[in-house]
Each structure stands twice: as C-alpha cells, then as structure tokens.
Amino acid sequence: MHDYLQVTQSLKTYERAGKLIPGWTQLISRRASQFANGVSPIYAKCAKGARFIDIDGNEYIDWVSAVGAIILGHADEVVDQAVKEQIDRGSLYSLNSPLEIELAEELVDTIPSAEMVRYTKGGGEACAVAVRIARGTSGKEKILFCGYHGWHDWYQAANYLVNPEDGEFPFAGIEPIGVPQVLSNTVIPFTYGDLTMLEELLKTNQSQIAAIMMEPIRSALPDLGYLEGVKALAQKYDVILIFDEVSCGWRLSIGGVQKYLNVVPDMTVVAKAMSNGYPMGAVVGSRTVMEPADRMFISSSYWSDNIGLVAALTTIKELKQRNSETRFKEIGEKLSKEIDRAIADVGLLGACTGLYTNPTINLDLPDDTLAPKVKTLFIQEMSSRGILCYTTFKPTLAHTEEDIDLTVQAITDTLVVIQSGLESGDIDNLLACDIKQDPFRRLVR
C-alpha cells in the first residue's frame, strides 16, 4: 500500500481544538470531516503561490484555494506589499478613508449592476445586508432564494420549511437550531432551472416578495434563457433580483457571471476572491435600489478598514492587468483535458465536467451508493501524494504547468487505486479514514 504523509501534529492539534472550539473550526468546510480525516492535513503553517506547508512540515499543491478566496495565489507579492504599506499608514482611522471611494469607483467600473456600493467583511453578512436593503427599499418582507447565502437567521430560517423535491430540509445536514421560528415562511426556496415553480411562488405570495436571491451559477452554466427568464419574472412581479456572486464571481469574468452571460440583476453580492485572502465583501446595485439604504441602520466599525479596501482594490486591478480571464481558461481547460486522458488511460468510465474555473471529476460507478466512498478514497490518495483537493479543483493564477503535471500524475495513480478497489469490490479496505461528510446540500448545480 502507498505510504501516507504523516499528519500527527495536525491530528493532535485538532483534538485540542475540539475541547476549546464548538465544531472544531470557524468554517465548516475546514473541518477534518470534509476531507480524509486521519490522512489529510488539517492545519497549515505557511502558504505561497499554489502551495502550502502543514504543521507537520509536508508540502502540498493546493487546489482548494481557501474555498475559492485565493485567486491570485497565496501571499501574492503585489497585494501583500500594498497591504504592508497601508499598515504603516494605519489600518483603521477615526475618520473615513478615501480608499472607500476608490474601491467603489473600481467596482462600479467593473460590475455591470453596480451604481452604488456598501461594504462588509465577508459573503454571509453581505447577503444579510443585501436582504436588509431589498426589504427596506421594497417595503416587503419575503425572500425567494436558490443557492447558499450564509449562516444568518434570515436565511437559515428556510430550514423550518422542507425542500419541495424530497421533503427534507432545504439544506440537508443543517438544523435551524438557534434561529427564531417566527422567521419561518419569510424565506422560501425554489429549484434552480424551474421557471414555472418560481412564477408559482411569486403568484402565491404576490405583493409580499421583496427579492429573489440566487447564485446565478455554481458548477455549470444555466440552460439558455433561464437567467433571462428569472429577470423577466422579477420585473413582471416588481421584485428585486439579487445575484449572489460570492463563490462564482471574478474567475469566469472579472465583472462576474452577469457580465459573462449579459444578464444584469438589480443587486449583486461579492466577497471571497475580490481581495485574495483578506476579509472583504460588498453589496452593489442600481441607484434606485441602493439609495434608500442611507435611511436604514446598516453600520459596522470594520466594514471599511483600510486593509480590506486596499487588498480588494489591488486584487481587482491585478486581475485585469494579468489577463486573468484568459489565464483561467487556459489552466482549467488543460487540467480538464489531462484529467479526461488520465481517466481513459486507467480504463475507468467518466469525465471531467463543469466550468473550467472549477473542473470536477465525475466517474461512472457500477453503484451510486459507492460515490461517497470513492470520493473519500480519491481525497485520501491525493492527500497522501501531496495534493489537497476534493473531486473538484479551484485554480489560481499561481498554478503552473508543473503543478498541473504533478497533479495529473497523482490523479492517475489515485485512479489506479480506485479501479483496483472497484474490480475487487473492496473499496472499504482501501480507506484509511472515515467517509467524507458533506456539510449541506446546495440548491443550485
């Protein structure tokens, strides 16, 4: 059997965390259960470019990229230098910073829906701000949503309802513990791609819907005309359309999915990759929708700290200067092509699917119930070969041809292990860890 990299210090540290931090980590996606617990690293001590070193001293090629927050590469020298210079000038003033205006101008110049801007420190609270503004501007309260929009009460209240497709919680694996039950029926899920269902909800709740909040895409482009249809329904029923581009923004197009597909919403939420690892988020939108927010209580000390502002401003400018859209296409398409070749060479059935900004391995398995085990085995074997990934890959501009070549070789070796397990019917004995646990199910493909 292949020798695994040792992650002894990670495991010991994680045990300490369990005694001090409810849930072990601050982000569910960083829990050990999201990877191959016992084999995958859990704690890093430094990162640069497309690689990091864990606290056991092992080096890994990183295809998780801080769940998409890293876009230029870890510790990018241009962004970090701008941040260091700003630290010397002060990280937070008693007064306002002109950087607020500079970044707002950059966002208005970059994102089609942007005429006015409000800031936050992350995607979840940016979604909460967007909902506050939509409710305040419209004078209505209910929200129709599709996708993942954070941890706040307005959104998690949806889990007092059921998903119309299977009768389970809209977010499988999450209970609305701690969320006031009085909020139930204030936020209602709809199925991605189903315009008939969306219009029925708009009719049923006519004159009550403040906004449609949705991730416009996640792993694949929508069917032709779908987003246009959503926008038409929003206009027909006088509802504010909000695109949550926290996860899908910046890589496919610097101006977002809305620019790539030429469908402009009333408001947009951005965060994650806009600042290459420094906390920053924003809500942008038309003047008509955004301007009434000057009378709403939306306020926080750190939303306009100079570090997030300068990091975002520098990151967006660097994305433009480095021809990022073309480069992401090159990296993603090469990786996808090489993965397809590896799958064929090993003799398995399947393909690399999805957008080139987030290539995903899909294997045709003899039994669908094997999927969780096979995914875990894939993560396990890739980790043991110095590659941190899921069965999906999130490129940064720092990923090199060598990184791709080493990753594809590790994928090939891993697929050989998977094939042997499938042929022998003995996947269980190849697993050195618990089955990966998905934290929740999204309502967008």
pLDDT at 176: 84
Question: Does residue 435 belong to any structural domain of this protein?
Answer: no
Are the CB atoms for 442 and 218 separated by under 8 Å? yes
Residue 171 sits in the same domain as residue 248? yes
Burial bucket for residue 270 (CB in 10 Å: 0-12, 13-18, 19+): buried
Structural domain includes residue 260: yes
Same-domain status, 292 and 350: no
Q: At what angle do helices 401-424 and 371-384 cross, to 10 degrees?
A: 130
Token output for 370: 């094997």
Question: Does some domain include residue 294?
Answer: yes
Query: Are residues 179 and 36 part of one domain?
Result: no
Residue 175: what pLDDT? 78
Same domain, 90 and 231: yes
Task: To the nearest 10°, report the CA torsion of 298, 299, 302, 307.
Answer: 60
Pairing of strands 209-214, 142-146: parallel
Return d(Cα 440, Cα 312) in angstroms, integer: 29
The answer to whether residues 63 and 112 belong to one domain is: no
Tell the residue number behind the tokens 């959503």, with chain if given: 230
Q: Indicate whether 109 and 246 sit together in one domain.
A: yes
Structural domain boundaries, residue 416: 8-72+323-430
Asked whether residue 442 is assigned to any structural domain, the reply reads: no
Q: What is the pLDDT of residue 163?
A: 58
> Which pLDDT score, from 0 to 100, does residue 30 have?
94
User: 290, 321, 352 — which closes off a domain?
Assistant: 321
Residues 239 and 224 in one domain: yes
Domain boundary among 321, 339, 362: 321
What is the pTM for the complete model shown? 0.95
* Structural domain count of the chain: 2
Residue 370 counted as domain residue: yes
Domain shared by 363 and 223, yes or no: no
Last residue of a domain, one of 271, 292, 321: 321
CATH of the domain at 134: 3.40.640.10
Q: Mind giving me the DSSP string for 416-442?
A: HHHHHHHHHT-HHHH--SPPP------
Give residue 437's pLDDT. 76
Position 380 scores a pLDDT of 97
pLDDT of residue 72: 98
Residue 443: inside a domain? no
Residue 426: which CATH number?
A: 3.90.1150.10
- 90 and 215 inside one domain: yes
How many angstroms separate the CA atoms of 54 and 327, rounded?
28
What's the average pLDDT block by block, 10 residues per block, for the chain (445 residues)?
84 97 94 94 98 98 98 98 98 97 98 98 97 98 95 91 61 78 93 97 96 94 97 98 97 97 98 98 98 97 97 98 98 98 97 96 93 96 97 97 98 97 93 80 57
pLDDT of residue 172: 58
Cα distance between the two ends of the chain:
36
pLDDT score, position 219: 85
What are the DSSP calls for 23-69, one per residue?
A: TSSSSGGGSGGGS-TTTS---EEEEEBTEEEETTS-EEEESSTTTTT
DSSP state of 22: T
CB contact at 8 A, 62 and 47: yes
Q: Which of 103, 357, 125 is nearest to 250 (CA)?
A: 357
- Distance, in Å, from the CA atom of 443 to the CA atom of 144, rounded to the nearest integer, reads 12
1 domain residue, yes or no:
no
pLDDT score at 167: 60
Residues 197 and 292 in one domain: yes
> CA–CA separation, 256 vs 250, rounded Å?
5
The verdict on 268 and 178 lying in the same domain is yes
Residue 162 confidence (pLDDT): 63
User: Considering the domain boundaries, does residue 394 fall inside one?
Assistant: yes
Backbone angles phi, psi at 296, to 5 degrees: -100, 150
Residues 309 and 386 in one domain: no
Provide the pLDDT for residue 444. 59
| Residue ranges with strand state E in 232-289 | 240-244, 267-270, 281-285
What's the pLDDT score for residue 317? 98
pLDDT reported for residue 197: 97
